Structure formats: structure tokens, C-alpha cells
Structure 1
Amino acid sequence: MQFQFANQGLTWSDAYFLAQGLLNTVRLAAAATLVGTLAGIALGWIRTVSVTARIATAPFVDILRSVPMLIQLILANSFLSILGFGTSPFWFGTVALGAWMSAVTAEVVRAALLSVPVQYRKSARSLGMNRFQELVYISMPLAFRTGLTPWIGLVLSLIKDSALAGVVGYIEYMRSTQVLITRTHETWLLLLGAGLLYFIICYPVSRYSRLLERKVLV
């Protein structure tokens, strides 16, 4: 038995469809954030090691930071299709969004590490620490305090950009909304609901980041 909202053409099964899309959005954003952050930390550190390393990794970072995500998704999907490589939309979206996240996170990490005063690093080395110990116990904790705020901003951007994964066939929340808009023509109601749901996802992240910042910066 189906229950319809008055004069809206929506059913309770549509709510389940939207809930699945919301879950897919959270899964994709979480996976891409994890992959991109870990890769970005490693890449950002590599870019501080030497000028040669920075020049060698510059094309990857600059291209992914400069080209719109929508274009990246379409071109990468088309290129893989031409080569005959097939993968699930979830993993494709995870890799594509994770690659972008790694590029922008790398720049945040690089800037945060370079912001650590050189005197602190020299003092650590004079106390007998090797380069790895200095990085783990001195540079990284100080860099974390500097890079936390911009990294949170990147996470929020990635959550919103996950809506672009619909162009490669991934049924995330915005794609679910578009499907229902096409069927029911309830454009305003569904778009307002989508905006509210993205706000509900992003706002707690933003508020928690502020609380975390106060604890870290004390």
C-alpha cells in the first residue's frame, strides 16, 4: 500500500529512494576524504623534501586543482571507457574525488609544514633527533594546528562536490533528487529538501571543527 503526500505525487518509497541516495553520498564522501587525505599528507610531505620533488609533482597538483571536477569526471570516465576498463561508479567516484582531495590537501600540508619555524627543526636536530623523529614529534603537531582549518574547508567542499558523481552513473543524493524531479515535477520541494540535507551534513562538521580548533589552539 502506498501513501501519497497531498497533491505532490510523492510516495513513501520515494523517501526510501532519497535515503539510499543520502547514504551513498555519505559513503562516497567518507571514502574519498580518507583516500585523499592520506595520499595528500604523503604528497605534501614529499613536496617539502626538495625542489626537484616539488617540480616533479607540480603537474599532478596543478592540473587537479585548476580543472573543474565535472570536467575531470567526464574526461576520465570517457578515457577509461575507450580503453575498455570498467569499474563501479562508487569506486570511480572515490578515486576521482580522492585524487582531487589529495592534490588540494597536499598544498595545505606543504604550507603547514613550511610554516613551522626553522629554529624549531634545528633545535630538534641538535637534541639528537633524526629527520623522521623531528617530523613526527615537532613539525607535524605544529603543522596540524595550522592546517586543520583549511583542511576542514576542503572536506566540506568535497561533500558538496560529491553531487557531481551523478554524471558517471553514481546514484547519490542529488542524483536521486533529480530523478524524482523528472518524475514528479516537484522541483522546489525536492531542491529545498536537498539543500536542507546538505546543510544537515555539513553544519555539524563545521561546528565540530570550530570546537576542535579551540581545543588545539589552547
Structure 2
Amino acid sequence: MEPTASFFFDFRISDLWFLAEAAWRTLLISTLSITIGTALGVVFGWMLFEGRWAAVLILGPLLDVFRSVPLIIQLVLFYNFAPIIGLILDPFLSGVVILSIYCAALVANVARGGMEAVSPSMRRAARSLGMSYWQDLRYVVLPIGTRAVFPSWVGVALGVMKDSALVSVLGYVELLKASQILITRTQEPLLILTIAGAFYFALSYPISRYAASLEKRWAS
């Protein structure tokens, strides 16, 4: 009698919904972190652009630390040392804090590059028309600088979205953590990782397409 091969398969529709909920958590933590990080990064980039001594001597090296130290180390250190200074944060809030600062450190260089892309002659022309410093910054520097570095910012945003998977080390059940849970139970890594990859693609692709269409609109 020929031996029969049996395959273990226990993936259910409810597991697909579990992954979908985890994808929503990934989108939530990514959106918050990118929004906060971008706002902080623009402010930090402006400070670096102005070249004040405090920004050059303190802020610059500090941002270099967040850019250089692996994100997973930052997450673990912050989550474990925050209670020492009286901050009791759950994995979600800890992830938002570190991802936001990490995003801000990356966006700061992007923002500074965008501001430096505006020629001094254009700024002098704006001031000669009677614009104040803040009007020049709002109506000349930021619009032109944003167009110059928008593709770089999109790359940072997509990178932060993918890096949000590292928050799983804190116990936050985002898409990667949910995949690991299901793999442990079903022993179907190929299927589950394929579905998780499809969710990541579904989250990232609309951003890429919208960014591309926006660039075309600006160029026309």
C-alpha cells in the first residue's frame, strides 16, 4: 500500500481578518509617526538651514544619533528606560514616539535640502517686493523647496511605514507580529508572508501612485 502524504493546513478566514486588523494598526502607527515626524523634521530642517549655533552644535549631532543607531535598538532602549524617568507608555505610544523622532531626523535633512534649493537671488527678489521673512518662507521657500525634495520625502515616508514592523519587538501586534503569530500556529509561512506582503503593497502602492501623479501635476 502506497504511503499517503498529509499536509498541515489550518488557515481560516478569521485569520485573514486578523491580518487585516493588523494592517490597519500598521497604517495607524505609520500615519501618526509620519505626520508628527514630518512636522518636527521641517522645523528641525529650518533650524539647520538657518545655521544657528545651537542647531549646529546640539541639534545636528543629536539627529545624527537617531539616523545612525539602528531603529530596533532605539525602540528597545526607549521602551525599557522610559519608566525610569516616569513615562509609562504602552508599545503603541512608545513606537509612535521613536518612529516620529526617527522620521524627523530623516526629514530634517530633506527639508534643509529643499530650503537650500531656493536660490538666494529669488529670496532677495521676494524681500525686495516687500515680503517679510516669514512671508518669504511661506510663499517662496516652502513651495519651491517642497517640489524639489518631494520624491525624497515620499521615500522617507514609505521607509518609515516598512520600519514600523520593528515595533513588533515591543509586543505591538502590527502586520509582521500578526504574521508571526499565525505562522507559529499554522506552520504555513509561505502563505501567510505572501498575504502580509500583499497588505504592505496595498498600503504603499497608493502613496507611490499619488506621489507620482502629484509630481506630474506640478511639472505641467
TM range (shorter): over 0.9
| TM-score for both structures, normalised by structure 2 | 0.92
Give the aligned partner of residue 49 of structure 2. 48
Does structure 1 conserve the Cα–Cα contact (< 8 Å) formed by 2:38 and 2:103? yes
Q: Percent identity?
A: 37
Which amino acid counterpart does residue 134 of structure 2 have in structure 1? F
- After TM superposition, the structure 1 = structure 2 runs for residues 201-212 of structure 1, keeping only pairs within 5 Å, are 201-212=203-214
Which amino acid counterpart does residue 50 of structure 1 have in structure 2? G
Give the aligned partner of residue 97 of structure 1. 99
- TM superposition shift of 1:217: 2.4
* Mean Cα deviation higher: 47-56 or 71-80: 47-56
| TM-score for both structures, normalised by structure 1 | 0.93
Give the aligned partner of residue 174 of structure 1. 176
Which amino acid counterpart does residue 171 of structure 2 have in structure 1? G
Does structure 2 conserve the Cα–Cα contact (< 8 Å) formed by 1:21 and 1:173? yes
- Pairing partner for 1:108 from 110, 124, 127: 110
Mapped partners of 1:90, 1:107: distance in 2: 26
Does structure 1 conserve the Cα–Cα contact (< 8 Å) formed by 2:15 and 2:182? yes
- Pairing partner for 1:117 from 116, 119, 122: 119
Mapped partners of 1:82, 1:42: distance in 2: 29
Give the aligned partner of residue 4 of structure 2. none
Name the Cα RMSD after superposition: 1.4
Give the aligned partner of residue 140 of structure 1. 142
- TM superposition shift of 1:184: 1.0
Which amino acid counterpart does residue 140 of structure 1 have in structure 2? L
Does structure 2 conserve the Cα–Cα contact (< 8 Å) formed by 1:149 and 1:209? yes
Mapped partners of 2:88, 2:12: distance in 1: 34
Give the aligned partner of residue 3 of structure 1. none
Mapped partners of 1:87, 1:67: distance in 2: 22
Mapped partners of 1:214, 1:56: distance in 2: 39
- TM superposition shift of 1:82: 4.3
- TM superposition shift of 1:81: 4.0
Does structure 1 conserve the Cα–Cα contact (< 8 Å) formed by 2:8 and 2:187? no
Mapped partners of 1:216, 1:54: distance in 2: 33
Does structure 2 conserve the Cα–Cα contact (< 8 Å) formed by 1:48 and 1:54? no
Does structure 1 conserve the Cα–Cα contact (< 8 Å) formed by 2:82 and 2:89? no
Moved over 6 A (4+): none
- TM superposition shift of 1:85: 3.0
- TM superposition shift of 1:84: 5.2
- TM superposition shift of 1:146: 0.6
Does structure 1 conserve the Cα–Cα contact (< 8 Å) formed by 2:8 and 2:186? no
Number of equivalences = 213
- After TM superposition, the structure 1 = structure 2 runs for residues 1-218 of structure 1, keeping only pairs within 5 Å, are 7-52=8-53, 53-83=55-85, 85-218=87-220
Gaps of 5+ in 1: 1-5
Mapped partners of 1:45, 1:17: distance in 2: 42
